Structure 1
Amino acid sequence: MEAVDRMPGLGKNKVDAMIRSYFERLLSKTEEIVFLTPQDPSIDPEFEATLAEEDRQRLQAELAKGKFDKITLLEAQELAGTGANTPHNVSADKFRAICNGVLRARIEQRRIYVAMLRGAFDEVKSKDPLFDGVTSTGMPPLPGDEPEPKQLTLENVIDKFCAMKEVQDWTSKTADENRRILGWFREQIGPTKNINDINIEDVREFRDTLFKLPKHFTKTVAFEGMGLAEIAAAKPAGEKLGASTLQKYFGCVRWFLSWCGDEYDIDTSKMLKLKIGHKINSFDAREPFSHDQLKRLFKSPQFTGHNSPSHRATPGSLLIKDGKFWIPLIGLYTGMRLGEIVQLLVTDVREEKDVLHFDVNKGEGDAKKTLKTKSSVRRIPIHPDLIRMGFMDHVALQRQKNPKGRVFSEIKTGKNGDHSHNMSKYFGRYLKLVGVKTGKTTFHSFRHNFADALRNAEAEDSRIKALIGHAEKSTTGIYGVGVLLKVLAKDVERINYDLDFSHLFINAKDI
């Protein structure tokens, strides 16, 4: 199941948890059958045990051959949430990992079933390490003996919400962030409070607490171990949380409350009317680099000559054209998000009708990518300056190393599963070292520079949106419809930043 590790949104840990839960249900059903068997004189326990053992051996042989019978496939499809033979939203490797887990669960269930039928209860503990520690939830109660339903405490409901979203939608990074935010909400409201008793005053109090929190409070040592209300009560000095951060935090809570309303038929309409104040457009949350900033950045040692691979802000004779060199230049000339650039494959650098371009796509199978929105899927012509700098030579070299590999394979994914994490940290540090960093300029600022450059080149708004990856309400905004690649190429070619990159251009004789 190693392949699952590389899959965003449904990694190995989530698949294992899914299979363990499935095995737990099998155990409960097994206990029920074994309990009822002696009460039915028409059933011979030893005969049942013999049949089950034969079935276990058959399944074991299939596992050894890597084959899956129809029942295993159907069970795996149900777990994957689809009825298709190979789910369209689940890669082949991922689906095979689920099938493998289902088959292991069925084999172990048969073994335990045989042991129970024969009274060998010293053999009922799982021997498959995947199911270590998994126990039955118990037999279903007899009519009239049903236990009290599990209380809808805020803690229980948050756990259920997060568990469902982690399997269906969230990447590891998103799951960690949202669990943290909802943990703050749970702490302030009270983990044992019934969700039916949560009212608008509770939610308003949480929102107002957020308003009082200082910027970077999660990274401040002085606030370690303190709750949100405690931090707010201390009235810390300094800048408070920004509007976009407030929107993210409170938006997560509102999303959870909306889900509670649908899931448990609770009226949350009044709570959902509470807002931060005004909607923040993420595209407007950052500023473009000024012309002076761009000039200083691209005249700095990373782009003119540096001391060593680990000291790129120090002048020297080296000029290493790897991801750290190319990615900022691509950001400037394409407006692509950092995550989109670092996930590029060599197969995403294409040529159609003499137009070299980047194909930003979702990928598939092991090469499946994480994109921000549906409109992120697009094609962006490669600016002639990038070609003059030798970018296509870099792509050719990477293609020789791995025909299906990434353009910037040396840029590793962060431990949180975020493809852009490491490069983002590096670029932020580099901006500081060369004196370009400000509070509102990040790698994302290149998107603003690119959009402004297109406007200055008199590109139509619909074409700017097509290149940036913003949704267009008209039908011409659909990817591949309405805007020809050659038209977009002309817009990109007209971009002019009034920067001198001649020191990076490769002479024709050197290509």
Structure 2
Amino acid sequence: MAGKLRHWKERNGRFSARVVIPPYLRPYLDDKAELEIQLGGDRRAAIRNHAAAVASIQRQIGIARQKHDAATGQRPKTPAYPLTAQQIALRDYHSQIDFDAELRANDSRYAQFGVDPDEAQRFRDGFAGKLSDDELEELVGARLARARLAGNTDAVKGTDKWRALAQALCVASYEAMAREDERNEGDFAGKPTHPLLAEAPPIYNDEPDPITFDNIIDDEVKRRARGKNAKPLPALTVKKYRDHCAAFGKWRKSKNALTVTAAEGKGWIESLQDAGELGNRTVKAMLQNVRTVMNWGRQNDPANFFPSGNPLNGIKAPDYTTLPSYLRAFTMDEAKLVLTTARREEKPMFRWIPWLCAYSGMRVSEAGSLRKEDFFEVNGRWFWKVTTVGNRSLKTASSERRIPVHKALADEGLVDFVKAAKPGRLFRGDTKDSVLVQPRISTWVRGIIPFEERPELSPNHGWRHLFEDLCRRDHVPEDARNYITGRTDGGSQEQYGRSEVMLPGLAAAMDQIHAIPTVHNYGHTRPTS
């Protein structure tokens, strides 16, 4: 076999013809995503019956397409499943041969009648070009209409294309009648002699039906969201996988995940490295994300999706060096400068996110999604929740936590800001509520501490590094530090407790952290609390 049969499905030793229904036609087919006809467990018989089954399915989809076009007033588009006249004739020929065999198997009277020579002569005149378009339509018009309905052609009467297809169907019928005559004499070895059929390649596709990276990601998103206590994939995580797979697909000029090769994976990461725009750490993450999506494809269909293994698994990811943590952190002087500058900002995003991160080690993305409703008071002390409530996403399960408001934040007026804020997000965009704050905060910080002066600094994550050091300096207990920053050490104790009973102790731990000195607008330094 030159390749895998198009619309062919094999599962657990059973075979079927399967055609995916375009999304816009599914409402006309009971909202089904695909149509499938079972072909049994005999492979040879399944292959023999496959073409007819596919044609039957395509005709059903064609009827749905007609209904859609009539309902929307759209003009018919290009054929959905285009075949050449030669391929349509070959399929029609095999369909007639199979029907002949079925009649012989079920009715002993059938073989007692010979072929009609006059009818055979008409088909011969048809492919010889002796018949008019009207005569051809009378002879093979119904079969030509079925081909149109199946989406195999858009040929219309009066065109050269239509006439060529009609003549090809005459060849199919003439050759089928010749086989019928031979079989009546006991000869079942006959084959077509007309070049149109004798030289026609099998209707195979060199590739199975495409499975795009987005198809795989969509399936995984549905799988993760299924069930009562499901853990859906965060929206930003889904976007990351889509973006990296799209970049890979654009480079290799194909979205079909079924055709990925190890050589392509290697070539892609080398092209990213050679471009010099991304660091090796980012390139490695992109490769890992595409590899993960490919693994999902294998998990969903291990029998058909790279049954011998993910071709990207054997590729060595790029190596990279990491800067020491202290180089990425804010120094005390830098923190003092940024927090002092933030005090003069009118936009809440720049006024409060640096302060929140400085006194909690929060990720900037977590701070950016805070809502008024996340803040609460217990026994006169204010706290805020870092939570997934409201379709928000966190990096890990341990990131769900409650954080005491540090005295420096209270003195700055954070609680008053929260009380006066409207319900919902505290940090909105100019034109929409939900915005990505990371690039905005990073650009803002770099306006204060230029990249040329401190290229190693992480403008967003640097607060997280600094807060860890503040906790170490002021002897904050490790378990409290891990909880406040949303880190995990994997211990079983993390699965217990964490009720409101612990909040006073957590607040006491936060109070051990001395405030970062800042400069008032009038130029003097605020004392350390």
Aligned partners of 2:336 and 2:519 also within 8 Å: no
Match of 1:181 in 2: 244
Aligned partners of 1:411 and 1:422 also within 8 Å: no
2:426 partner SS: coil
C-alpha spacing 1:287/1:439, structure 2 compared with 1 (3 Å)? closer
| Match runs of 1:101-500 below 5 Å | 125-126=70-71, 151-152=207-208, 156-164=211-219, 177-189=240-252, 191=254, 195=258, 198-215=260-277, 241-265=278-302, 266=306, 267-268=308-309, 271-277=312-318, 287-300=328-341, 302-303=342-343, 305=344, 320=346, 322-364=348-390, 368-398=391-421, 402=422, 404-409=423-428, 418-421=435-438, 423-424=440-441, 426-432=443-449, 438-478=455-495, 480-481=497-498, 484-500=502-518
Equivalents in 2 of 1:192, 1:502: separation in Å? 56
Aligned partners of 1:383 and 1:492 also within 8 Å: yes
TM normalised by structure 1 equals: 0.55
Structure whose alpha-carbon radius of gyration is higher = 2
Structure 1, unmatched stretches of 5+, are 1-19, 32-115, 216-240, 306-311, 313-319, 505-511
C-alpha spacing 1:170/1:214, structure 2 compared with 1 (3 Å)? farther
Shift of 1:479: 7.7
Instruction: Write the deviation string for residues 242-299 of structure 1: whole angstroms up to 9, x where unpaired.
Output: 2331222111221122123223422325631434256999995971101221222234
Aligned partners of 1:188 and 1:206 also within 8 Å: yes
C-alpha spacing 1:205/1:177, structure 2 compared with 1 (3 Å)? same
Instruction: Write the deviation string for residues 158-202 of structure 1: whole angstroms up to 9, x where unpaired.
Output: 242244356666677655554443244335545398836x44344
Match of 2:137 in 1: none
- 2:280 is aligned with what amino acid? A
- 2:71 is aligned with what amino acid? S
Shift of 1:448: 0.8
- 1:468 is aligned with what amino acid? T
- Aligned pair count reads 344
2:70 partner SS: coil
2:402 partner SS: strand
- 2:216 is aligned with what amino acid? F
Shift of 1:494: 1.3
C-alpha spacing 1:179/1:344, structure 2 compared with 1 (3 Å)? closer
Equivalents in 2 of 1:175, 1:162: separation in Å? 8
Equivalents in 1 of 2:465, 2:214: separation in Å? 39
C-alpha spacing 1:411/1:434, structure 2 compared with 1 (3 Å)? farther
Match of 1:35 in 2: none
Match of 2:40 in 1: none
Give the % identical residues: 18
Aligned partners of 1:378 and 1:479 also within 8 Å: no
Instruction: Write the deviation string for residues 306-340 of structure 1: whole angstroms up to 9, x where unpaired.
Output: xxxxxx6xxxxxxx473321111111011111121
My pick for the range that moved more, 405-414 or 454-463, is 405-414
C-alpha spacing 1:471/1:148, structure 2 compared with 1 (3 Å)? farther
Match of 2:198 in 1: none
Match of 2:12 in 1: none
TM normalised by structure 2 equals: 0.53
Equivalents in 2 of 1:489, 1:133: separation in Å? 69
Equivalents in 2 of 1:207, 1:478: separation in Å? 40
Match of 2:26 in 1: 25
Equivalents in 1 of 2:515, 2:452: separation in Å? 20
My pick for the range that moved more, 259-268 or 370-379, is 259-268
Match of 2:527 in 1: none
C-alpha spacing 1:173/1:497, structure 2 compared with 1 (3 Å)? same
> What value does the CA root-mean-square deviation take over the aligned residues?
4.6
- 1:254 is aligned with what amino acid? R
Shift of 1:24: 2.4
